[in-house]
Amino acid sequence: IGIAAWGIGFGLISSFRVVGVVIAVGVFLFFIALVGLIGAVKHHQVLLFFYMIILLLVFIVQFAVSCACLALNEEQQSELLEVGWSNTNSARTDIERNLNCCGFRVFYPNETCAADCLRTLHCRPCAPIMEEYAGMVLRFVGGIGLFFSFTEILGVWLTYRYRNQKDPRANPSAFI
């Protein structure tokens, strides 16, 4: 949620879909954490079980995405960038404005461009600039995702261990 607000505040992101997805994922993870917290405080085994299962599913998805980010070679990154470029107009405008470039590989005069370099007519194509950053960003995102996926599996393990403990505030004769 904070990253989406930061991107909007600095004008880096104007796509409602991107911001909406980031905010939705943040709210989802917040509610999952809340379920785990309530389950731990109340010693509620069912809530802890659902928390554990959902956290395991989040781990699997996050681990797979992180591994995919780290495994992409330069050709696959280029193909991914080209698909993203051709499918979204708002992202294209943001990229042209922020990277000061026009067109993907070639800029045609009949196309529109949001970059300032269009005034001087010395615009570079966006593909080489994006490819320069893509590898670095994918390694960064993959590494951070991998780190947090292992903290999630630690949370699953701790939940599994904690879920079967008896509530110390409960009546001791109830366990007999």
- Whether residue 175 is contained in a domain is answered as no
Question: Predicted confidence band at 13 (pLDDT cuts at 50, 70, 90)?
Answer: low
At residue 13, what is the residue type?
I
DSSP state of 44: -
Domain contains 124: yes
> Stretch 116-129: mean pLDDT, rounded?
76
Tell me the residue range of the domain where 71 lies: 14-164
Nearest to 123 by CA among 98, 95, 90, 100: 100
Report if residue 134 sits inside a domain. yes
With 60 as the cut, is the pLDDT of residue 174 above it? Answer: no
Let me know if residue 88 belongs to a domain. yes
Checking if the pLDDT of 57 tops 90, the result is yes
- Residue 104 corresponds to which amino acid? F
The verdict on residue 135 lying in a domain is: yes
In a domain, 156, yes or no: yes
At residue 124, φ and ψ (nearest 5 deg) are -90, 155
Comparing 52-61, 118-127, 128-137, the range with the smallest average pLDDT is 118-127
Instruction: Over range 40-58, report the average pLDDT.
Output: 89
Q: Taking the CA atoms of the chain, what radius of gyration do you get in angstroms? A: 23
Per-residue pLDDT at 160: 85
**Domain count along the chain:** 1
Q: Would you state the pLDDT for residue 132?
A: 82
Does the pLDDT at position 60 exceed 90?
yes
For residue 125, the number of C-alpha atoms closer than 13 Å in the C-beta half-sphere is 11
Highest-scoring range by mean pLDDT, 15-29, 44-58, 93-107, 157-171? 44-58
Question: What's the whole-number mean pLDDT along residues 6-24?
Answer: 65
Residue-averaged pLDDT of the chain:
79
Report the predicted TM-score, pTM, of the whole model to 2 decimal places.
0.69
Query: What does the block give as tokens for 173?
Result: 């004769």
What's the rounded mean pLDDT across residues 122-147? 84
Q: Is residue 123 part of a domain?
A: yes
pLDDT of residue 4: 60
Residue 141 lies in a domain: yes
